[in-house]
Structure 1
């Protein structure tokens, strides 16, 4: 890693007007260094005020075909920083997240994530959050955010755009095979809105089935069909 590394924060967005302002405000208030190069929101075709809100907070907005994998790859191509930090639009990073990432990279970690907590007191969701401290692919997901050196991102060819869901997990599994993945001790706070809307038992069961199907060899189209049938209806 070169001296004085810079971080590009990359947020894929689609109709996120309700919570995006909170996330962007948190990013500015939580940063403790001057080494954030930019915040980029990659819009997949929002029909609400998402783009206007992102611009009002000083974020760069670029357009992309819909799909988080496509959007995040587009953001990475546009990014000027040599460290990429992928963040979901409903997740709040911890205070000093930038300093923590920079120190991890300086100590030799090329990729990694934070632990995670849900914004819920549900005991099962708290358990799921506790499990994110375990450094194993089964305990990984995009809600924990992801930092990665840009050179490594390009070497691994980024996110697989065939995936419309599970793209984070599939990519992180490849990172575990090629580098020592670091789980940072601080916590991001992520929204439990899907669990509140659908019910935590239903959501967790079907996510578990998606993991199992992937493990058994299911491809991206089969995973998306299952997700669309069971969690989008």
Structure 2
């Protein structure tokens, strides 16, 4: 079984379609278990999920601390593999079979999917190319790449570190100490809404600063309120 953890905050416009898309794309949909952890939505996100088989949890105290939602979902997961999926990210066809195939290599402890945007313009295409170079060399993947890992390894690590920003990047650093990370193709398609809503250059500059600080070993959590306060996803 693959447990799919989806952290949400005001995702009523995305959550149901993302879940339905994920089920349609699975080779074995009956082997998926969905866990939605909501950090206090005010738009009826949880109420909009009609599938009674999906576990739903409301945790308003997790607001602006995504790692808490991810760790809570991990605690509730029963699958051998846990996939962390953003509510505005669409997985490729047969993603589950691809993951299980990659994990046949015992040295592989997890991985993530190739990255692309929905309806990219030239700026987003350029950013996509830069991102692909970045994670191919650095093996550090971000949350919108649908990171997955063996549950036993995640449990050994204690889940996500208590970092209020770039929590998946820190997790990747820990996972790499346990084994190899696979890069899956075909990739995911994610929404560019952060860039559309707040301006491409403003968001790209902020993300670049966080990337530099992360790689220099400087703290980034102090920037979390600025980030999550403007981009509640």
Change (3 A) 1:91 1:16: same
**Following the alignment from structure 1 to structure 2, what is the Cα–Cα distance between the partners of residues 98 and 208?**
32
How far has the Cα of 1:211 moved from its partner? 1.3
**Following the alignment from structure 1 to structure 2, what is the Cα–Cα distance between the partners of residues 38 and 124?**
36
**Following the alignment from structure 2 to structure 1, what is the Cα–Cα distance between the partners of residues 58 and 138?**
31
Paired residues of 1:120 and 1:126 also in contact (CA < 8 A): no
**1:149-188 map, 5 Å:** 149-161=150-162, 163-188=163-188
How far has the Cα of 1:93 moved from its partner? 0.3
- The size of the alignment, in residue pairs, is 225
Q: TM-score, normalised by structure 1?
A: 0.88
Q: State the match for 2:112 in structure 1.
A: 113
Q: State the match for 1:93 in structure 2.
A: 91
**Following the alignment from structure 1 to structure 2, what is the Cα–Cα distance between the partners of residues 220 and 117?**
25
**Following the alignment from structure 2 to structure 1, what is the Cα–Cα distance between the partners of residues 74 and 184?**
22
Paired residues of 1:43 and 1:51 also in contact (CA < 8 A): yes
**1:67-86 map, 5 Å:** 67-86=65-84
Q: State the match for 2:222 in structure 1.
A: 222
Paired residues of 1:114 and 1:183 also in contact (CA < 8 A): yes
Paired residues of 2:90 and 2:189 also in contact (CA < 8 A): yes
Paired residues of 2:23 and 2:29 also in contact (CA < 8 A): no
Paired residues of 1:44 and 1:63 also in contact (CA < 8 A): yes
**1:47-66 map, 5 Å:** 47-56=42-51, 58-64=53-59, 65-66=61-62
**Following the alignment from structure 2 to structure 1, what is the Cα–Cα distance between the partners of residues 214 and 29?**
40
How far has the Cα of 1:35 moved from its partner? 5.5
Establish whether residue 29 from structure 1 lines up as the match of residue 19 from structure 2.
no
How far has the Cα of 1:56 moved from its partner? 3.7
How far has the Cα of 1:204 moved from its partner? 0.8
When the two chains are superposed, the root-mean-square deviation of aligned CA atoms in Å is 2.1
Q: State the match for 2:123 in structure 1.
A: 124
Give CA-to-partner distance per residue, 1:179-219, whole Å, 9 cap, x none: 21111121100000000011111111110001112233322
Paired residues of 2:165 and 2:221 also in contact (CA < 8 A): no
Establish whether residue 19 from structure 1 lines up as the match of residue 2 from structure 2.
no
Give CA-to-partner distance per residue, 1:46-101, whole Å, 9 cap, x none: 11211112244742102333121000100111111110010001100001111111
How far has the Cα of 1:132 moved from its partner? 2.6
Q: Which runs of 5+ in 1 are unaligned?
A: 1-5
Q: Which runs of 5+ in 2 are unaligned?
A: none
